[in-house]
Structure 1
Amino acid sequence: MERLNSKLYLQNCFIIKENERLRKKAQILNQENQQLLLELKQKLSKTKKSNGSNQGSNSNLSSSSSASGQS
């Protein structure tokens, strides 16, 4: 019984370490995803501003982006 407990304890330790490693990796991927999303929004905003045909939606984007820039 003690041998089984030891084996299960070691497996549990391994699972905990693997879980921590995966959690850190997920955090990094999430940060990269957020950064890429921000860059994409900025590029779309620039494209719409230079296009001129989407001025109605531009005013919404530029007001929200300038408001977030002031914070």
Structure 2
Amino acid sequence: MCYKERNQAMERLNSKLYVENCYIMKENERLRKEAELLNQENQQLLFQLKQKLSKPKKNPNGSNNDNNFCPSSSASGKS
């Protein structure tokens, strides 16, 4: 292979690799944006879960689990 043919082959390969690299960078950017959206969604879901878990739990009869809570009238000082 002479110098000119080898140079043309290298230029074709270089062009092919350039186009492939552009495609990879574009796909990488798309995936980066998708990952950011998924991260935002995960953060929102985590926030909602933490809010849900921090709320006081209810007994099946509807009262709070707080052991200090006493619905009787004696707890308010009235007889």
TM-score (structure 1 length as normaliser): 0.72
Structure 2 residue identity aligned to 1:16: Y
Distance 1:17 1:45 in 2: 42
TM-score (structure 2 length as normaliser): 0.65
Higher relative contact order (CA 8 A, sep 6+): 1
Q: Which runs of 5+ in 1 are unaligned?
A: 54-71
The alpha carbon displacement at 1:10 in A equals: 0.2
Which has the higher Rg, Structure 1 or Structure 2? 2
Root-mean-square deviation (CA, aligned residues, Å) is: 1.0
Deviation per CA, 1:38-66: give whole Å up to 9, x if none: 0000000000011117xxxxxxxxxxxxx
Paired positions, count: 53
Q: Which has the higher helix share?
A: 1
Structure 2 residue identity aligned to 1:38: Q
Distance 2:43 2:19 in 1: 36
Q: Which runs of 5+ in 2 are unaligned?
A: 56-79
Moved over 2 A (4+): none
Deviation per CA, 1:13-62: give whole Å up to 9, x if none: 00000000000000000000000010000000000011117xxxxxxxxx
Q: Secondary structure at the match of 1:13?
A: helix
1:20 is aligned to 22
1:44 is aligned to 46
Q: Does 1:7 align with 2:28?
A: no
